[in-house]
Structure 1
Amino acid sequence: MTPNSTARRRTADGPTGRRKVSGPARRRLAAGLAVVCGLALVQSSTAAAAPEPLASDVLFSGEEQVAPGVTFRSFTWETGHGSTQGYVLEADLANPLVDLGLLHRKTVTEPTAISALADGQGAVAGVNGDFFNNTDEHEGVEPTGSAVGAEIAAGEARKGAVPDGQRFGPGLPEGTSTEDVFGLGSDRTARVASVRLEGKIETGHGVLGVDGLNQYAIPVGGVGVFTEAWGTTSRVRATCGTDTDRGAPCSDTTIEIVVRDGKVAEVRPEPGAGAIAAGDFVLVGREDGVGELDDLKPGDPVSVDYQLAPVGVPEFRFVVGGFPILRDGTALPGLDDQALAPRTSAGASADGKRVYLVAMDGRSQVSAGLTVSELADLLKRSGADDAVNLDGGGSTTLVAREAGAQHVTVRNNPSDGRERPVANGIGIFSGGGR
């Protein structure tokens, strides 16, 4: 594989090669938001099941060049349930100066304002990303702040996707899962696809599958791998809930194995907390996963091999989790058509060379919000091909640099009146300023 591979084979001695292995499976706002000579009207209509008919066209205005190949626009939509204000970032990937990447902290458990993430990584613009674990649902167990779906940054697999029943956000459309992602491939094409965690744990007693990677929820009966990218946050939450019930009690059958220098260093009866040293692994098992690990003793050899494998598409350079709302220009069935909220979305043109990041004003402003179904209809009639819905509500944030500025500013009006710390985001970069 190339240096940008999402695969990673490691023991405590460091990278030793890459290979693709089988393991448990979990399961493109491609938008042409058109602007013609400053102001443009784009005819739109609501999805059939939307609560009220849309009242007018969408008015786009205020085009501004953020950087070569990167533009910012605002739009207003007078819908049947009120006026909605939104904002669009467009990135032209045919321009060699333009790039996309994951906005993130060093660890997956450090929610941070998007403006800080963008400035910290040198992005010229961006939006918030995936839904995340920010709710305390289990007594004595604090939220981890980590995202629902997978993360790949600069070709590196950072985390896998939690089971569908453990996710946060609106209901998933039929045929989608937490494995669905928006990302940029090694071919510099943006797309919506899915990635699957594949891996194995080799011990002197046999070979185990990898069921989780730096996730706030491990599948029932599974074994999860945690690395330094997890941070210092407790790993107990990973053993709470079930694959179908996020709020179910935490498991009382658990084990944790610390692997250092390619050998078992410590065996614990339950998940712990604290930093994981570079090169070390912590293996957490629950239910049947305990039986797969409880023969291990200090000194036993262990190696860990994992990757986030793309399904039917080239390798990804970056991905962020999000559920599809459009596929091949068609809205997915089963999208929520009742709840109005600020929305954040990401997508690409049919050829994957133009990326659109969209965010709405918050509920505290004069903006009614949209249903997910309306959002899909808006983007479809604007020319979208494939698209995903990202975290909305108080998380919805769009940032961009103003002319001559070295730092981004928040361009929408977040619901909370200020930025909410979020798990990750999508960054637009210009001129190789990564």
Structure 2
Amino acid sequence: MTRRHKQLTAGRTVLTVLTTFGVLAGAALTGAAPADAVRKTVPIAQGVSYEQFDIAAAKGVTHAHVLLVDLRNTHVHLDLLYPGAVAARAPVSNLADSAGAVAGVNGDFFNITETQHPGVEATGASVGPAIANRRVLKAAVPTGQRFGPSLPPGTNTREVFGVGVDRRARLDRLTLLGTVRTTEGPLPLRGLNQYALPVGSVGAYTARWGSVSRKRATCGTDTDRAAACSKDTYEVTVRGGRVVSASGTPGRGPIGAGTTVLVGREAGARQLRKLSLGEQVSIRTGLLPSASRIAYRFALGGYPVLRDGQPLAGLDNTTAAVRTAVGFASGGRRLVLFALDGAPAYRSGLTIAEVAAQMRKLGSTDAFSLDGGGSTTLVARAPGGSAVSVRNHPSGGAERPVPNGIGVFSAP
């Protein structure tokens, strides 16, 4: 018996004992490799169950943790987990417990570091659009400014997975529609609470952004995230429908209710400089879906890997990693939340092409990749429990704070 086989066998023995006592894998985050040769489904709450199993992948055996959610059950719904601000992060377990969720997974890719821009603060804000409890939180950054692996051909940062007010899951694209109306005429708004603005544009920041510096919004270009920060910037604060202050550099600090800060770069900065103190300004924003006329209860960014039962063309089949994904079937009423284990014995993970294939095996007709690596986290309560526990082993040895996630809620 090889050393690796002994480790896997020991992991299975430990799991058998834990399952007998109603404790699921991931307890204590010791780094031991959980494994379960027999796939077993455990109820978590009404319409929500959990299972785990091994996957024989091209780079070696990996281990999956899965939440099965039935939206046909009226006691169940999904919503965005987030820390109360776009530019903020927290562990998934904290986000789930504070929101009262029975389970959840991590969400979108995010602005995790700023090594290319010395002195500029990483915002922690997510890449794509975000909607929580029917409220628009933010729009997408330019595709060239995203963090994460390469996107499949034909996709961009506006891709979302979401659930509509009709309780059906969908894949969609959400495009910002925004206007700043001034006494001299309307200005197009091309950003909303996002860590990067298109070159030459104006973006809006509200109380939902948080208190992190807005400087990062003026760094990089639409095609090069590492490009230098713009030297031509301007920001205007609008309160009560009138300009109350202006500055030549983006600021920081909390933004009060009823206040919007407009940040401009290059041509956008020159447009904002035309505004005068006391001038009347109105700002309108919204996210326009491309695939549905149904309003979204919640939505978050990532990228599609499976559509109508078929993998997207050009999915990477070389780079394997720990992954998180979400899929659905039955017209968007049956959901699969999928997270790999990051324990050392399983860290070889899956390629994106393998994720698409695995989601199809799990019954999904459509699937969407979320942030992976050290961010991958799946949490769930024990049946009848009051707090979630981490069911996989995060590859960093502990939960990584993330900007958002998918929360599963089940009323008694």
Q: Give the structure-2-normalised TM-score.
A: 0.89
Q: Does 2:222 align with 1:243?
A: yes
Q: Secondary structure at the match of 2:279?
A: coil
Q: Does 2:55 align with 1:69?
A: no
Aligned to 1:287: 266
Structure 2 counterparts to residues 286-365 of structure 1, below 5 A: 286-313=265-292, 314-362=294-342, 364-365=344-345
Superposition deviation, residue 65 in structure 1: 0.4
Q: 1:363 to 1:371 in 2, by over 3 A?
A: farther
Amino acid corresponding to residue 366 of structure 1 in structure 2: Y
Aligned to 1:372: 352
Structure 2 counterparts to residues 113-192 of structure 1, below 5 A: 113-136=91-114, 137-192=116-171
Aligned to 2:73: 95
Q: What CA distance in whole angstroms lies between the structure 1 residues aligned with 2:95 and 2:375?
A: 14
Q: Figure out how many residues of one structure are paired with residues of the other and give that number.
A: 375
Moved more, 118-127 or 192-201: 192-201
Q: What CA distance in whole angstroms lies between the structure 2 residues aligned with 1:84 and 1:107?
A: 34
Q: What CA distance in whole angstroms lies between the structure 2 residues aligned with 1:337 and 1:91?
A: 28
Aligned to 1:193: 172
1:58-106: CA deviation from partner (whole Å, max 9, x where unpaired): 9661211000100100011122321110111011000000000000111
1:196–1:310 Cα contact (<8 Å) kept: yes
Aligned to 2:9: none
Q: Alignment RMSD, CA only?
A: 1.3
Aligned to 2:394: 414
Q: What CA distance in whole angstroms lies between the structure 1 residues aligned with 2:140 and 2:157?
A: 6
Amino acid corresponding to residue 232 of structure 1 in structure 2: S
Question: Which of 67, 80, 84 is equivalent to 1:106?
Answer: 84
Q: Secondary structure at the match of 1:115?
A: helix
Q: What CA distance in whole angstroms lies between the structure 1 residues aligned with 2:150 and 2:163?
A: 25
2:45–2:384 Cα contact (<8 Å) kept: no
Superposition deviation, residue 384 in structure 1: 1.8
Aligned to 2:5: none
Question: Which of 231, 251, 262 is equivalent to 2:241?
Answer: 262
Q: Secondary structure at the match of 1:351?
A: helix
2:86–2:126 Cα contact (<8 Å) kept: yes
Amino acid corresponding to residue 186 of structure 1 in structure 2: V
Displaced runs of 4 or more, over 3 A: none
Aligned to 1:18: none
1:151–1:319 Cα contact (<8 Å) kept: yes
2:59–2:320 Cα contact (<8 Å) kept: no
2:321–2:347 Cα contact (<8 Å) kept: no
Identity score, percent: 50
Q: What CA distance in whole angstroms lies between the structure 2 residues aligned with 1:138 and 1:60?
A: 49
Q: Secondary structure at the match of 1:161?
A: coil
Richer in helix (by share): 2
2:327–2:359 Cα contact (<8 Å) kept: no
Superposition deviation, residue 412 in structure 1: 0.3
Q: What CA distance in whole angstroms lies between the structure 2 residues aligned with 1:60 and 1:70?
A: 20
Aligned to 1:208: 187
Q: What CA distance in whole angstroms lies between the structure 1 residues aligned with 2:127 and 2:410?
A: 28
Amino acid corresponding to residue 269 of structure 1 in structure 2: G
